[in-house]
């Protein structure tokens, strides 16, 4: 029997936050996956690594396989009725989800699924209001339907295409939600000015030095120092871009 001991469970918690000056509770993500190693690079670079180090975000990875009672450590099986591929079985997922959710407040359980509601900026904003998100990543042909029926997760899709597993979609959720947590971005204003800050709104074009590169010039208004004119120019550019993007849909 491969029940995880307390010690093994402790070892599975890979990223321990190092709280610094922050007094707010960190937002907690639990990722339930068959491939926890896929998150190594993602969590150790850039803004997310800094947010973890500052104690703004906590991320715990759990290997679903650690919960299987199968003597060969199998987590999947052939689909009833025949057909291609393998289906993730109920037992390890139910046991893993239930054990992880018992650690503190249960949080919101999200199943990454191409059949879920589309991850749009309003959904991201809503997810960011939770203290804890438990992200369940599928693989192979997906989950036994009774996992949906019994655990009643919220299904979230990152778009109308199929990924090999839920790990990359879970990273997208963490990345998009994480940047809304106060203190994660160096400049809070930047999230308020990004595309989708308002439905259908696209950000204006940005330029940096040099003023001319390979014959392509920066619009003179941005170099002139007239902040009113810059604001009007940006608003007009944003309007045109929003129109262009929304026309494509």
Annotated active-site residue in 70, 108, 125, 194:
194
Closer residue to ligand SAM, CB minimum distance, 38 or 191: 38
Strands annotated E in 129-220 = 132-136, 154-157, 212-213, 216-217
Q: Is residue 175 annotated as a catalytic residue, yes or no?
A: no
Euclidean distance between CA atoms 59 and 46, whole angstroms: 15
Closer residue to ligand SAM, CB minimum distance, 75 or 137: 137
The DSSP call for residue 143 is B
Which residues sit opposite 87 in a β-bridge? 77
Q: Is residue 118 annotated as a catalytic residue, yes or no?
A: no
CB 169 → ligand SAM: shortest distance, Å?
4
CB 115 → ligand SAM: shortest distance, Å?
5
CB 78 → ligand SAM: shortest distance, Å?
14
> Each residue of 116-155: b (16+ CB within 10 Å) or e?
beebebebbeebbebebbbbbbbbbebbbeebbeebebee
Q: Is residue 211 annotated as a catalytic residue, yes or no?
A: no
Query: Which chain residues interact with ligand SAM by CB under 6 A?
Result: 112-115, 137-139, 141-143, 157-159, 161-166, 169
Closer residue to ligand SAM, CB minimum distance, 80 or 161: 161
Q: Catalytic amino acids?
A: 114, 141, 179, 194
């Amino acid at each position: 029997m491969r029940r995880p001991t307390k010690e093994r469970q402790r070892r599975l918690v890979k990223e321990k936050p190092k709280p610094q000056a922050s007094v707010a509770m960190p937002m907690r993500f639990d990722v339930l996956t068959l491939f926890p190693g896929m998150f190594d690079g993602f969590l150790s670079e850039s803004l997310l690594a800094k947010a973890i180090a500052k104690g703004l975000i906590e991320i715990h990875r759990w290997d679903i396989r650690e919960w299987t009672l199968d003597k060969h450590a199998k987590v999947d099986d052939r689909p009833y009725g025949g057909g291609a591929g393998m289906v993730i079985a109920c037992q390890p997922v139910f046991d893993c989800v239930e054990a992880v959710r018992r650690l503190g407040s249960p949080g919101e359980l999200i199943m990454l699924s191409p059949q879920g509601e589309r991850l749009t900026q309003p959904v991201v904003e809503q997810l960011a209001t939770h203290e804890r998100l438990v992200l369940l990543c599928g693989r192979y042909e997906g989950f036994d339907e009774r996992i949906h029926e019994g655990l009643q997760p919220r299904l979230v899709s990152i778009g109308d295409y199929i990924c090999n597993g839920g790990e990359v979609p879970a990273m997208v959720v963490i990345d998009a939600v994480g940047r809304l947590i106060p203190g994660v971005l160096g400049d809070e204003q930047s999230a308020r000015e990004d595309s989708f800050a308002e439905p259908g709104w696209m950000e204006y074009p940005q330029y940096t030095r040099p003023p001319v590169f390979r014959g392509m010039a920066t619009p003179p208004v941005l170099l002139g120092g007239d902040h009113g004119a810059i604001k009007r120019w940006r608003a007009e550019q944003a309007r045109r871009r929003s129109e262009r993007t929304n026309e494509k849909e």
